[in-house]
Amino acid sequence: MPMTSLAFAQAEPVAAPPASPAPATEPPPDLPAPPSSATALPTAAAPSAAAESPASEPFAFADFSWIPGNGGSSDRPLKAGPFTGEVRLDAAYHYSFAHPKDNTISGSSEVFRHNELQVTQIGFGGDFLYKNVQARLMTQFGMYSQTTPRNDSSPSRGQWKLDDAYRYISEAYGGYHIDVMHGINVQAGIFMSYVGLWSYYNFDNWTYQPSYVSSNTPWFFNGARVQIFPTENLKIEPWFVNGWQSYGKFNQAPGGGLQIQYRPSASVALLGNQYFGTDTLNTPGRKRFHTDDSVMVKYYDRPDGVLSRAAASLTLDAGCEEGGGVSCSSQYFLGFMAYSRFWFLKNHFGATIGGGAITNPGRYLVLIPPINGATAASGTPYFTAAPGDSYKAWDMQVAADYMPQEFITFRAEFNHRAANVPYFTGPGGVTPDGGNQGAPGSAVSGWTPDLIKSEDRLTFALMVKY
């Protein structure tokens, strides 16, 4: 949800661009470099020994650009020597049928302003690979540079303003590629989370607004990971991180997790993410458990047909918190999201329909509405997140895309979102008359935010990725 979702993803970071010529389709973004060792040559001592073949690139045996979070072109126009550049631009116009007078949309980690054209994210960066040493950097400017740090409460513990130090960075990590099996990457820094399936970068996704299980789970982690590719079909990736979408730690203990990704064929992908941490600020006795699991299937593929391909995804999430005054029987998270995606006319047009639902007693993964400038650290008495506080929500999205080139997407989308408690911004807005007053999120005498139980909105977006 990055912690709010933030985010996060599901944006998968590029661990290293291929060192060999690019395959006909785009490799998954976290592919390791292919083995750099030269093919063994026969020797005089063994003249008949066959030359060894280097291990194949993992996941390079098929086109997986249909998978959510894995879109884009195999063409790399910004490649120069060991550097492969990347540029992203996401500009969007959102229209809420509630017509909030302060133009503020709440409850989303991707959509923030009503009836305005805003730049959600602009990023510059890319990947370096030289002699098996890796580095990736992506900047973030625009709305994400303000809204993503706002949803992380860990900087309020201690000093040094971590939210300012990192706010203009979406990814920044280095690492080393080891030529064993089908590759191992050892990396440390800020990298994209996989929890929730959808990517942090909207260009890569089937819809602009993710359903709740993506929008309320991490978009990024700050820590270290090891990507292990035993075969061309399998990735095993343990993480050791500061916490759940956090720049720092919420308590003394860090977080940990594991992803297993398996692609048995060109048409099926299985993804499992498991997480454990202590992620309630200044409550060290409370432990968080979370599992996020997805299956994706491409069930139709006729490149020359009017309908050129079709795919579907299903994601199931479950988790809870235990200790520090709560238990897994009363403070838990259950949710799902399901989508169908269709491509037309050689993949130049696309259509997506889907949605999902969550229940989250205690609201520990619910984004705090920005009432009177409230943040994840400040909270607000107008929307509490205490043990036992009920929160149930569901949503649906319909999106239509036009992609004249692989580098650009024009998207139109309708969203309906609803909750069992007032949560979304109503006509009166969530900003006191005259602007924010007092400490962030604090009560204002004689004023009450206008929160409603459902919202309908339109989105029109232009997204570029080189």
What residues contact 51, with CB distance under 8 A and at least 6 apart?
A: 39, 40, 41, 42
What is the mean pLDDT of the segment spanning 441-461? 97
Report the Cα–Cα distance between both ends of the chain, in Å, rounded: 25
Cβ proximity of 430 and 96 under 8 Å: no
**Which of 370, 455, 341, 29 lies closest to 200 in space, CA to CA?**
29
When pLDDT is cut at 50, 70 and 90, the band that residue 54 belongs to is low
Q: Is residue 39 part of a domain?
A: no
Residues spanned by the domain of 247 = 79-465
Would you state the structure tokens that stand for residue 371, as one six-digit string? 């009432």
What is the mean pLDDT of the segment spanning 408-426? 98
pLDDT number for residue 443: 96
Residues of the chain with pLDDT > 90, as a percent, come to: 83
Q: Is residue 326 part of a domain?
A: yes
Nearest-angstrom CA–CA distance, 153 and 285? 17
Instruction: Give residue for tokens 């499992």.
Output: 272
pLDDT one-digit tens code per residue, 86-138: 999 999 999 999 999 999 999 999 999 999 999 999 999 999 999 999 999 99
Would you state the structure tokens that stand for residue 253, as one six-digit string? 């203990």
- Average pLDDT across the chain, whole number: 89
Using the predicted structure, report yes or no on whether residue 153 has a pLDDT greater than 70.
Answer: yes
Strand partners, 338: 314, 355
Q: Is residue 146 part of a domain?
A: yes
Phi/psi at 149 (5° precision): -60, -30
pLDDT one-digit tens code per residue, 297-332: 999 999 999 999 999 999 999 999 999 899 999 999
Distances (CA, A) of 38 to 32, 43, 228, 343: 17, 14, 21, 40
Q: Is residue 40 part of a domain?
A: no
Q: Is residue 411 part of a domain?
A: yes
Q: Is residue 54 part of a domain?
A: no
Q: Is residue 35 part of a domain?
A: no
Residues of the chain with pLDDT > 70, as a percent, come to: 88
Nearest-angstrom CA–CA distance, 14 and 51? 31
Q: Give the amino acid at 340.
A: S
pLDDT number for residue 33: 41
Q: Give the amino acid at 252.
A: Q
Q: Is residue 20 part of a domain?
A: no
pLDDT number for residue 11: 36
Count: domains in the chain: 1
- Residues in the chain, total: 466
When pLDDT is cut at 50, 70 and 90, the band that residue 52 belongs to is low
pLDDT number for residue 284: 87
pLDDT one-digit tens code per residue, 204-218: 999 999 999 999 999
For residue 392, the domain's CATH number is 2.40.160.10
Report field, pTM of the whole predicted structure over 0.75: yes
Q: Give the amino acid at 147.
A: T
Exposed/middle/buried for residue 123 (C-beta within 10 Å: 0-12, 13-18, 19+): buried
Would you state the structure tokens that stand for residue 426, as one six-digit string? 């109503």
Nearest-angstrom CA–CA distance, 459 and 410? 11
What residues contact 44, with CB distance under 8 A and at least 6 apart?
A: none
Would you state the structure tokens that stand for residue 136, as one six-digit string? 């990736």
What residues contact 305, with CB distance under 8 A and at least 6 apart?
A: none
Q: Give the amino acid at 162.
A: L
One-letter-per-residue 3-state SS of the chain: CECCECCCCCCCCCCCCCCCCCCCCCCCCCCCCCCCCCCCCCECCECCCCCCCCCCCCCCCCCCCCCCCCCCCCCCCCEECCEEEEEEEEEEEEEECCCCCCCECCCCCCCCECCEEEEEEEEEEEEEEECCEEEEEEECECCHHHHHHHCCCHHHCCCCCHHHHHCCEEEEEEEEEECCCCCEEEEEEEEECCCCCCCCCHHHCCCCCCCHHHHCCCCEEEEEEEEEEEECCEEEEEEEECCCCCCCCCCCCCEEEEEEEEEEECCEEEEEEEEEECCCCCCCCCEEEEEEEEEEEEEEECCCCCEEEEEEEEEEEEEEEEECCECCCCCEEEEEEEEEEEEECCCCEEEEEEEEEEECCCCCCCCCCCHHHCCCCCCCCCCCCCCCCCCEEEEEEEEEEECCCCCEEEEEEEEEEEECCCCEECCCCCCCCCCCCCCCCCCCCCCCCCEECEEEEEEEEEEEEC
